[in-house]
Structure formats: structure tokens, C-alpha cells
A and B are shown apart, each in its own frame.
Chain A
Amino acid sequence: MKVKASVRDGMVLVKMLMKHPMETGRRKDKNGELIPGHYITEVKATHNDDIVFHGELGPAVSKDPYLSFSFSGANSGDMFTVSWVDNKGESESSEFAIR
């Protein structure tokens, strides 16, 4: 996952791009078999133990999901964590610096 976070007039603006196929479960592969649904269900961000973002996603979100949001009460140089989980229980969680 790629994340850009920068402070603008007191708010931290976050742009994030997650690598994920986001299979809808309706697509068929080459020999006509249904490819099982495989999509991110939740995305969370925390800063100093506060949840500063929570999104619920589903199969209608595009492949390699892009999200943007903003939150208050953080300064450039702070670290914050972004995590996601998908319907198969796979997940990713990383820390990022605020520019």
C-alpha cells in the first residue's frame, strides 16, 4: 500500500492506494469458471491510539482501491498507522510519516 499524508491548514490530508484485485465474485475466468469474490472489507487508520479513519468497502470498489480522507490533531513528523482486511482474512498494516 502507498500512502501520502501532508498537513494543510491544520488538517492532515491522506491519499492512499492499496494493491488488491477486488474480485466481485461475478467475473468468469478463461474457461468460464466464476472467480470467487475477493475484496477488501475494512480500512482503518489510527493516530496516537485514536481511530482517525474507518471505511467499509465492498465488491463495487475499483481494483487497487484509492481512498482519501483528512483528520485533525496531528503534526508533520508524527507517525500514523493504516490497515486493511479483506473477506479472506488477509490484511496489511503499516506505519507512515506525516510530511
Chain B
Amino acid sequence: PRVVWASWNASAFSAEDINLAISETYGDMPISDSDAIALKAPSIAENGAVVPISVKTNLPVESISIYVEKNPSPLACKFNIQSRMAADVSARIRMGETSKIIVLAQADGQLYRTTQEVKVTIGGCGG
């Protein structure tokens, strides 16, 4: 079967400011902090080029987006949750420097947010 493409949000992925990236993804949908989203990310990254992130929630979400606040283009990836798909995804992303990871989960016109800081260090001088 020929695969149907062209639902890639170019403007969100090219936005170079976190607020613009969010508004290009979700317009001005209201955002509220929630601890119903389980975000697993390292506190200190072993390698800024490969930072494992996983997100899981029981909320009835339509999409999950992962942003790195201080990245040149903050939106890293977006998962559009399909009917038979669990809201339990993971990916590996790039981080240029210590930054906050922001995860937004979209459910019935609302955005639920959780964040965590991930430190990127030059390493060494271990205890």
C-alpha cells in the first residue's frame, strides 16, 4: 500500500523559540501542569547527543510532544496517538546544553504539561 505522508508540521519543527514552537504545534490551547504524565529522563545526560526520553500516561491523549527548551529548534518530536496505540512512547533526542525538557499531552482541547531539567556536563573528576 502506498504510504500517505505530508502531515509533518514543518513550521513547528522550524520554530526557534519555545513559545513559538508550542503555538505552532497547538495554537493557543490552554496548558496546565499535571502529574498524570510519567516522564522518564536522566537528571544528568551521559551523552548530550543521545538522551533517552520516555513518556507514558493514562490520560485519553490525542498527541504527545517533546520539547527541549534551549535547543535551537525546541520541538524534538510529536507522537499522534492512534486508536489502537498506547500513550507510552520513547525516543532519543539531542541536547546542546543543560535545559528543561517540556512534555505536552493533548487531550480534549487541553494541554497537560510536565517538565524536567536535564543537565549536560563536560564530565570527569568523578568521586
Contacts and interface: CB of A to CB of B under 8 A. Distances in A.
Direct contact of A and B (CB under 8 A): yes
B77 A58 contact: yes
Interface stretch (B26-34, B84-92, B108-116, B118-126): B84-92
A26 B85 CA distance: 34
A63 interface: yes
Interface string B71-98: 1111111111011111011111110000
Interface residues of A, number: 37
Contacts of B94: 24, 59-62
A30 B54 CA distance: 35
Contact of B80 (A26, A55, A65): A55
Given A61-B94, A65-B92, A70 B86 contact: yes
B66 to A, nearest CB: 9
